[in-house]
Amino acid sequence: LSQADVIILTYGTSLVYKHQNKVIANCHKQPNNLFEHEQLSFSEIKASIHHTLDLISSLNAEAKVIFTVSPIRHLRSGVTESSRSKAVLLAALHEALGEHKNKQSTYFPSYEIFMDELRDYRFVKEDLTHPTIQAEQYIWERFSSTFFNKKTTEIIDQVMKYNDFKNHRPKNTSLHLQQLIEKKNKLNQVYPFINLT
């Protein structure tokens, strides 16, 4: 964090799991009945965002912070709770950004793009929650055009082509490996700051 030029933070929900009065991550997919399920308040979320920005500023005052809200809905809690969760999160985030002294912080509307511009069901996977690859590409293109200059976009395009070539399954593996090494060396010569491992 102390050396980053840009830090991207994506919030997913304002619904939390609590165990013995402590907020925890239910990343092990334990049964819900083991936890209390709670909606954080507007004030709690806003205070947490201020704390996050203060912490980042203390480590790296020059870093630009880009906030987003994940377009993935948490439908296990129900449609109403999921919408309420996102609404409280969005309101607290925007108010905190307006108040905070770190004016290098900004917001990118990935949630709004997905919900409002990509309304068609073809942009949602069969679970009706997760975006399709097409939706992810659309949001990525919007993000890129918002935050990247032409040079950065060119570098990303070249690295993506390299990765596509690297992930290709060729018939002639030795020739493919030789070409891969050549492409990697060429990219490293032009962009020595890129790690292509």
Q: Tell me: the pLDDT tens digits for 92-104?
A: 999 999 998 777 8
- Shared domain for 104 and 130, answered yes or no, is yes
Q: Give yes or no for residue 124 having a pLDDT over 70.
A: yes
Q: Give yes or no for residue 88 having a pLDDT over 70.
A: yes
- Shared domain for 163 and 113, answered yes or no, is no
- Shared domain for 74 and 132, answered yes or no, is yes
- Shared domain for 38 and 96, answered yes or no, is yes
How many residues would you count in the chain? 197
Q: Would residue 79 count as lying in a domain? A: yes
- Average pLDDT over the chain reads 91
- Shared domain for 62 and 156, answered yes or no, is no
- Shared domain for 139 and 71, answered yes or no, is yes
Q: Give yes or no for residue 135 having a pLDDT over 90.
A: yes
Mean per-residue pLDDT, 29-52: 89
DSSP string, the chain: -TT-SEEEEEE--SEEEEETTEEE--TT---GGGSEEEEPPHHHHHHHHHHHHHHHHHH-TT-EEEEEE-S---GGG-HHHHHHHHHHHHHHHHHHHHH-S-TT-EEE-HHHIIIII--SGGGB-TTSSSBPHHHHHHHHHHHHHHH--HHHHHHHHHHHHHHHHHH---SSHHHHHHHHHHHHHHHHHH-TT----
- Shared domain for 109 and 14, answered yes or no, is yes
Q: What is the pLDDT, as a whole number, of residue 28?
A: 66
- Shared domain for 41 and 90, answered yes or no, is yes
User: pLDDT category, 195, cuts 50, 70, 90?
Assistant: confident
Instruction: State the total domains in the chain.
Output: 2
Q: Would residue 1 count as lying in a domain? A: no
Q: What is the pLDDT, as a whole number, of residue 26?
A: 65
- Shared domain for 129 and 172, answered yes or no, is no
Mean per-residue pLDDT, 173-181: 91
Residue pLDDT, tens place only, 53-82: 999 999 999 999 999 999 998 887 788 998
Q: Which domain holds residue 32?
A: 6-147
- Shared domain for 29 and 91, answered yes or no, is yes
- Shared domain for 54 and 94, answered yes or no, is yes
